[in-house]
Amino acid sequence: MTEKRPLVAVLTGAGISTDSGIPDYRGPQGLWQRDPSAQELVTIGPYLASAEVRRRSWLMRRDAGAVDARPNAGHRALVDLERAGVPMRVLTQNVDGLHRAAGLPARKVVELHGTAAEVQCVRCRVVSPMAAALERVAAGEDDPACAECGAVLRPRTVMFGEALDERTLQQADAVAKACQVFLAVGSSLQVMPAALLPRIALEHGAKLIVVNGEPTPYDDAASEVVREPISEALPKLVRRLVGGDLAQG
């Protein structure tokens, strides 16, 4: 009888995408450190209330280069893990879509904070590509409105001041409860409710491994803490997972 392989849950934060050219928010060189006022650009209240905030927000998206970003070795390592037949799910705080762009099946990725690849009208709810909206910004529109009804367009992300989708959160909770190994990769583990997921996994008997350049609130509870660059550390961890070296017990 074939032994059942452990389920691996991987929570990913901004740190996994920095090698793809997407800056993080809370690190020493993060966006909030360099420009604390930038947080209002992704906060729902100011965004809906102020055309000037939206104008700056569109410019930030245009200049961030996220639409052109490509997966790096960290993203590809998780694809290798999935293709090796290891049961796994990625729970990502990122909105860049790079896990799926790297080749992970959509059913293996839970996007906790939505996706920046699309925009949605706040009135008629029509969804359209972010790339099309950014083309309008590049052509000179400060605050592109919905082409259908003229109302405000917003990214299909969970902005500050908004709650996570309940169904998405339930999926993540179920994965955290069921996994035997929980990797927290490139996340400050400070943003709720995603920061609760490692605790849920620990409470249900999982082994926790933290891969992050800076200390996190969970370092003391982790079986292993890795400070190496993620693009170097994650391929090594994946090889150990495929070989069964990190299975619980």
- So which residues are the catalytic ones? 113
* CA atoms 214, 215, 219, 220: torsion sign: positive
- Side-chain half-sphere CA neighbours of 24 within 13 A: 21
Distance from the Cα of residue 138 to its chain's centroid? 26
> How much helix, strand and coil, in percent to the nearest 5, is found in the chain?
45, 20, 40
**How far apart are the C-alpha atoms of 245 and 175, rounded to whole Å?**
21
SS3 annotation, 25-54: CCCCCCHHHHCHHHHHHHEHHHHHHCHHHH
